[in-house]
Amino acid sequence: MSDISVLFVCMGNICRSPTAQGVFESVVEEADLGRRIRIDSAGTHAYHVGEPPDRRAMQAAAGRGIDLGGQRARRVEKSDFEHFDYVLAMDSSNLDDLLSVCPQPYRDRVSLFLEFADNPVRLDVPDPYYGGGKGFEEVLDLVEAGARGLLETIRQQLK
């Protein structure tokens, strides 16, 4: 059983949150903490439930050695707030959606993912869905910064 659990959330769970899940899984494995941290992702909307990540997200991630192919989109469930220590929104719109359905006792678990980045240039991870490949690279850059900061925060908890 894991000590800490993290859920990454975007709108459809096919671009940003699966990328964050894949990147964070990678940094957690590099830190040899894979058995101690459970990682998942979900969407605030059910548009793509059961679908794999967007092919452009998978291609961009693969370019950095990260495989997103085993993931499937799912929608956030009320039980997620109880079962995850961190429920991390990719942007303020998703944060608002999460807080609107989060039971009061678990609201302190919900925050913006990029709040964990060291000196973030922005707090929202932009949605690359309607853009080109450059948007997916920007998402990866932001997510990598957030993942490193989140790992350091969790490392302190695990001591």
Mean of all residue pLDDT scores within the chain: 97
Tell me, what CATH number does 38's domain have? 3.40.50.2300
From the CB of residue 7, how many other CB atoms can be counted at a distance below 10 Å?
25
Residue 10 appears among annotated catalytic residues: yes
Q: For the whole model, what pTM was predicted?
A: 0.97
Instruction: Domain of residue 119: give its range.
Output: 4-158
User: What's the one-letter identity of residue 93?
Assistant: S
**Overall average pLDDT of the 7-22 stretch:** 99
DSSP for 55-92, please give it.
HHHHHHHHTTT---TT----B--HHHHHH-SEEEESSH
Residue 15 appears among annotated catalytic residues: no
Q: What values do phi and psi take at 130, rounded to 5?
A: -95, 5
Q: Is the pLDDT reported for residue 1 higher than 70?
A: no
Residue of 72, 91, 127, 148 marked active site:
127
37: DSSP letter: E
Answer for the pair 7, 21: CB distance below 8 angstroms, yes or no: no
Q: Is 57 left (phi over 0), alpha (psi -120 to 50) or beta?
A: alpha
Residue of 10, 80, 91, 124 marked active site:
10
> Given this model, what pLDDT does residue 125 score?
98
> Given this model, what pLDDT does residue 132 score?
85
Cα separation of 115 and 108, whole Å?
A: 14
Residue of 15, 16, 56, 97 marked active site:
16
**Overall average pLDDT of the 100-114 stretch:** 98
Q: Is the pLDDT reported for residue 8 higher than 90?
A: yes
133-158 and 16-30 helices, crossing angle to 10°: 50
For 27-50, how does the pLDDT look when each residue is reduced to its tens digit (9 = 90+)?
A: 999 999 999 999 999 999 999 999
For 49-59, how does the pLDDT look when each residue is reduced to its tens digit (9 = 90+)?
A: 999 999 999 99
Q: Is the pLDDT reported for residue 92 higher than 80?
A: yes
**Overall average pLDDT of the 91-105 stretch:** 98
Residue 155 appears among annotated catalytic residues: no
User: Which residue from 154, 159, 137 is spatially nearest to 38, judged by alpha carbons?
Assistant: 154
Q: How many structural domains does the chain have?
A: 1
Evaluate the CA torsion angle 132, 41, 73, 26 in order and state its sign: positive
